[in-house]
DNA sequence: TGTGCTGGAAACAGATCGGTTTCCATGAAG
DNA sequence: CTTCATGGAAACCGATCTGTTTCCAGCACA
């Protein structure tokens, strides 16, 4: 437990990790202990545990996206940029420390779709769909909106396979996404006709 | 709370519903109250709450499969029989009482893949894959094993969309499954060349 | 040296957790 | 009527839950 970061950052980090690994039902005591922060401080920084759940999900969004999405400097064609997301997910599954999409898992545990954490989860899923949509528009796909949703669905399906520990079938997410892109005519190297 | 069924049946029914609706963290007190059974009786019938979780999941398997899979009397070609699963899932989502696949959701909440409930979840997912596989073999698909896994993945992805309450896109599961079947050459009305 | 603020340690509160036990109403068998 | 097994109601256990409060060590600043 490094004391370098501020108590708020330490709490958000510990929350992001423990809520993901042990579920949102982990106690505040364990959380504060892991963060090296007293409960008093925690309740001064966050109104409630529910707010901490939402804030920790939101705070990890950018890092999570950087981990999944290819950067702007990656100038490969849209199809490759899209498949990169699935390749990176596959790599996390293969590494063995992937317990499903943190946003979907948290939404599953919270049940209530109006919970602030569920709202963040919905927002993040939309951002993934938006990324796919942008790439598909660049590729000149015929129905980018629907295809983007389909890709997001495959992403979450692959995550579910990891959760239930189904017999691993390496690269099944990327394979399926590629099949869908093929069917939609988004081919390797194809770019918009701009 | 009907007193007609045996205490065991009442418990399994209540558990199946409440664990699904409120999550496996609901207390045994609330559960027994809903089932009209005392805790004493519950702990005579089941060794622990964990065992009740697993048994309730297992007991609901057949009914859940009957709800999703087309029956043997449905003699339409494999492609239609496969798409029926997604159509029925879509119907449940549209009806508004669908909170995701009970087996995946429970596995997400339990975290531990060795938990008896997680084992049942894994088993059920395999059964869905097996159903797809049988139909794909009947249809003479080229790689039925992989395609069956892909379809299961789409099923779980569609379930995840329902959980996070993503903007509904009617029939997206069936549409995607159909696109995949098209790409694999499993066409409407096609049957095995037996 | 004295003052005031920050924040951790820990006790506390009231509720609930999984699980066990006691007690008693009921109803069938002799 | 007596006897005995069933099973519900509810108390009880120790642990843990979210959230609050008290107390005090440390430290910047005058």
pLDDT (tens digit, 9 = 90+) per residue, B75-129? 899 999 999 999 999 999 999 889 999 999 999 999 999 999 999 999 999 999 9
Question: Residue B190 — pLDDT band, cuts 50, 70, 90?
Answer: very low
The mean of the pLDDT values for chain A is 91
How far are the Cα atoms of A50, A146, A148, B191 from residue A123, in angstroms, in the given order?
17, 18, 15, 43
Looking at residue B189, what is its pLDDT?
55
The sign of the CA dihedral B46, A164, B91, A128 is: positive
pLDDT at B187: 75
Q: Is B91 on the interface with A (CB under 8 A)?
A: no
CA distance A111 to chain B (A): 7
For chain A, give the longest Cα–Cα distance: 59
Whether B192 has a pLDDT exceeding 80, the answer reads: no
Burial class (CB in 10 A: 0-12, 13-18, 19+), A127: middle
The reply to whether A132 and A69 lie within a common domain is yes
Number of domains in chain A: 2
What pLDDT does residue B27 have? 93
Nearest to B156 among A107, A161, A165 (CB): A161
Low-confidence ranges of chain A (pLDDT < 70): 1-4, 188-194
Determine which helix (DSSP H) or strand (DSSP E) holds A66, and give its type and residue range: helix A49-68
Q: Are residues B113 and B168 in the same domain?
A: yes
The C-alpha atoms of residue A137 and residue B48 are separated, in whole angstroms, by: 54
Residue B192 lies in a domain: no
For position B4, what pLDDT does the model report?
58
Whether B162 is covered by a domain: the verdict is yes
CATH code at position A161: 1.10.357.10
Say which CATH number the domain at B8 has: 1.10.10
Straight-line distance from CA A46 to C1' D20, in Å?
Answer: 14
CB contact under 8 A, B159 and A158: no
**Distance of alpha carbon A159 from alpha carbon B16, whole angstroms:** 24
- Asked whether residue A41 falls in the same domain as residue A126, the answer is no
CA/C1' separation B5–D3 (Å)? 28
In this prediction, residue B170 carries a pLDDT of 84
By C-alpha distance, which of A161, A163, A129, A160 is closest to A147? A129
Do A98 and A130 have their domain in common? Answer: yes
Is A116 an interface residue toward B (CB < 8 Å)?
no
Give pLDDT, residue A189: 55
Reported as type and span, the H/E element at residue B154 is helix B144-163
Question: What's the domain range around A127?
Answer: 60-183
């Amino acid at each position: 437990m490094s004391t370098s970061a501020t108590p708020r950052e330490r709490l958000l980090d510990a929350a992001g990790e423990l809520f993901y690994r042990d579920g949102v039902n982990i106690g505040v005591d364990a959380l504060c202990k892991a963060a090296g922060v007293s409960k008093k401080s925690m309740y001064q920084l966050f109104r409630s545990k529910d707010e901490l759940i939402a804030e920790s999900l939101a705070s990890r969004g950018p890092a999570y996206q950087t981990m999944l999405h290819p950067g702007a400097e990656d100038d490969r064609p849209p199809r490759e940029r899209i498949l990169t997301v699935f390749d990176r997910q596959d790599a996390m599954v293969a590494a063995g420390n992937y317990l499903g999409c943190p946003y979907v898992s948290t939404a599953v545990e919270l049940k209530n779709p109006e919970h602030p954490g569920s709202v963040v989860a919905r927002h993040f899923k939309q951002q993934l769909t938006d990324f796919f949509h942008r790439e598909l528009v660049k590729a000149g796909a015929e129905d980018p909106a629907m295809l983007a949703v389909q890709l997001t669905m495959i992403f979450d399906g692959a995550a579910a396979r990891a959760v239930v520990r189904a017999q691993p079938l390496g690269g099944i997410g990327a394979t399926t996404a590629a099949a869908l892109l093929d069917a939609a005519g988004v081919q390797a190297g194809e770019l918009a006709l701009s």
